[in-house]
Amino acid sequence: MTFTHAVGARAYRFADLKTLLAKATPLRSGDCLAGLAAETTEERVAAKMALAAVPLKAFLQEALIPYEVDEVTRLIIDSHDAAAFAPISHLTVGDFRDWLLSDAASTGVLTRIAPGITPEMAAAVSKLMRNQDLILVAAKCRVVTAFRNTLGLPGRLAVRLQPNHPTDDPHGIAAAMLDGLLYGAGDAVIGINPASDSLAAIHDLLVLMDEVRERFAIPTQTCVLTHVTNTTELIRRGAPVDLVFQSIAGTEAANAGFGVSLAVLQEAHEAALSLQRGTVGSNVMYFETGQGSALSAGAHHGVDQQTCEVRAYAVARRFSPLLINTVVGFIGPEYLYDGKQIIRAGLEDHFCGKLLGLPMGCDICYTNHAEADQDDMDNLLTLLAAAGINFIIGVPGADDIMLNYQSTSFHDALYVRQLLGLQRAPEFEAWLEAMRITGLNGRLLEQTAQQPLLAMMPGAA
């Protein structure tokens, strides 16, 4: 189906739905690299105007990537909930934006329609929204998940404690874990990106974290972010696995590049559920995504990178994750060039994920070859916290010495808690108080050498 929009005497024509979506996307380097971006600023706005007139139903009739060749498309179409979609089925994309911003779209209503929204609908409406719209509507969405604590409750923000070390040195990792816990971080998960792919090494890391968690009765979950097939094998061998991690993308071919399929994820999901290690809930999956991953694998099928990203959320939604994290600035400037593009992408990802009913977090981050710095991260952190993000990343001093990029620090989380009055997951907050790490107001208490957690490591104080 062809789409057109006239601006004065000039008629813009868009060959199909995926072209229209790509041309309507706010400028980013990855779409330019793919040759999909609007050629002029005016063409971009004309595309938005044409997109505003497209009925939401059109996305159920015209698949961006053919049903026959892509299992993500099949998942999206086959799992679409027509009853949930019914209340918005008469709207165009432009009407949908107006409706989302209206009082009619309450938290309860948004929760009910989520299964009726496809990734393409969410991506489309986000392209018509300004940053403030992305923030306001996301803040109305609520997605609560649970394993050993409860994440996503209103007025709360969780942190993944990321104690990476370039050689997986157990003392180095334990030192960073201790630092994070004493800064009040770690309620989303304590999660290590391992340097090694060896099953024995990953097993040791799982045991290290599990022993600390058990010894101090920390109400949180742990994870080693290794390939899903490694985790499935480790579950089989009896390792203490709380969460299954995997990077995912929005097309079957891109997922194949990651060495995964829906069937592989299904097997891991069932294996983790069988362990029944959650105490207050059974969300056992942890996914990471990021705009540009499909293009980087040469598997984007001419679909813009933001729409591909939201399609990855359909994959995640299938497995009811505890956490899903868009690693927004990690991929580099050929996909998101500068702070402006990274901030926009972070807000889009969070909004689209929440609209689909996912427990979105964000690794607010950048690399040293991107045109970005800590001020940009401060901006995105503040905006996402205002938008009600479920969790962020905590790295000592924002400097990940294993993955060589900058994320957010434990101090950054304290800043945004103090600014916006955000609390931690309730079970974790209570534990911090009991450990005398925080006071009743959630603020850090001054520590002494008698802090019991310091016994985690000899010679700590």
Partner 1 sequence: MDEEKPALTPDPWAELSRHTAARIALGRCGGSLPTAETLGFALAHAQARDAVHTPLDVGALSDALEEAGFVALPAHSRAHDRTEYLQRPDFGRRLDPASRNALADLPKMPCDILFTIGDGLSSRAIERNALPLLIELRPYLETSGWRIGPVVVAKQARVALADEVGELFKPTIVVMLIGERPGLSSPDSMGIYITHGPRVGRMDSERNCISNVRPEGLDYPAAARKLAWLLDASRRLGLTGVGLKDESDGSALAAAESRLAIAVE
Choose between 72 and 403: whose C-beta lies nearer to partner 1. Answer: 403
Is residue 399 close enough to count as binding partner 1 by CB under 8 A? yes
Binding positions for partner 1, 15-74, rule CB under 8 A: 29, 32-33
Choose between 273 and 457: whose C-beta lies nearer to partner 1. Answer: 457
Choose between 198 and 266: whose C-beta lies nearer to partner 1. Answer: 198
Binding positions for partner 1, 250-309, rule CB under 8 A: none
Binding positions for partner 1, 191-210, rule CB under 8 A: 195-198, 201
Mark the segment that binds partner 1 (CB under 8 A) among 109-117, 252-260, 316-324, 400-408: 400-408
Choose between 69 and 455: whose C-beta lies nearer to partner 1. Answer: 455
Among 274, 447, 452, 455, binds partner 1 (CB under 8 A): 447
CB of 341 to partner 1, least distance (A): 11
CB of 198 to partner 1, least distance (A): 7
- Residues 321-360, mask of contacts with partner 1 (x by CB under 8 A): -----------xxx--x-----------------------
CB atoms within 10 A of CB 444: 14
Whether the CB-CB separation of 417 and 423 falls below 8 Å is answered with: yes
Choose between 333 and 353: whose C-beta lies nearer to partner 1. Answer: 333
SS (H, E, C) the chain: CCEEEEECCEEEEECCHHHHHHHCCCCCHHHHHCCCCCCCHHHHHHHHHHHHCCECCHHHHCCCCCCCCCHHHHHHHHCCCHHHHHHHCCCEHHHHHHHHHCCCCCHHHHHHHHHHCCHHHHHHHHHCCCHHHHHHHHHHCCCCEECCCEECCCCECEEEECCCCCCCCHHHHHHHHHHHHHCCCCCCEEEECCCCCCHHHHHHHHHHHHHHHHHCCCCCCEEECCCHHHHHHHHHCCCCCCCEEEECCCCHHHHHHCCCCHHHHHHHHHHHHHHCCCCCCCCCEEEEECCCHHHHCCCCCCCCHHHHHHHHHHHHHCCCCCEEEEECCCCCCCCCCEHHHHHHHHHHHHHHHHHCCCCEEEECCECCCCECCHHHHHHHHHHHHHCCCCEEEEEHHHEECCCCEECCEHHHHHHHHHHHCCECCHHHHHHHHHCCCECCCCCECCCCCCCHHHHHCCCCC
Choose between 149 and 296: whose C-beta lies nearer to partner 1. Answer: 296
Whether the CB-CB separation of 118 and 88 falls below 8 Å is answered with: no
Among 68, 217, 369, 441, binds partner 1 (CB under 8 A): 369
CB of 337 to partner 1, least distance (A): 6
Among 259, 418, 434, 452, binds partner 1 (CB under 8 A): 418
Is residue 87 close enough to count as binding partner 1 by CB under 8 A? no
CB atoms within 10 A of CB 7: 12
Is residue 459 close enough to count as binding partner 1 by CB under 8 A? yes
Choose between 167 and 274: whose C-beta lies nearer to partner 1. Answer: 167
Mark the segment that binds partner 1 (CB under 8 A) among 68-76, 119-127, 211-219, 368-376: 368-376
CB of 205 to partner 1, least distance (A): 13
With contacts defined by CB under 8 A, how many residues of the chain interact with partner 1?
62
Among 130, 171, 215, 236, binds partner 1 (CB under 8 A): 171
Is residue 440 close enough to count as binding partner 1 by CB under 8 A? no
Under the rule (CB under 8 A), what is the footprint of partner 1? 29, 32-33, 163-169, 171-176, 178-179, 182, 195-198, 201, 332-334, 337, 367-369, 373-374, 395-399, 401-406, 409, 411, 414-415, 417-418, 443-444, 446-449, 451, 454, 457, 459-461
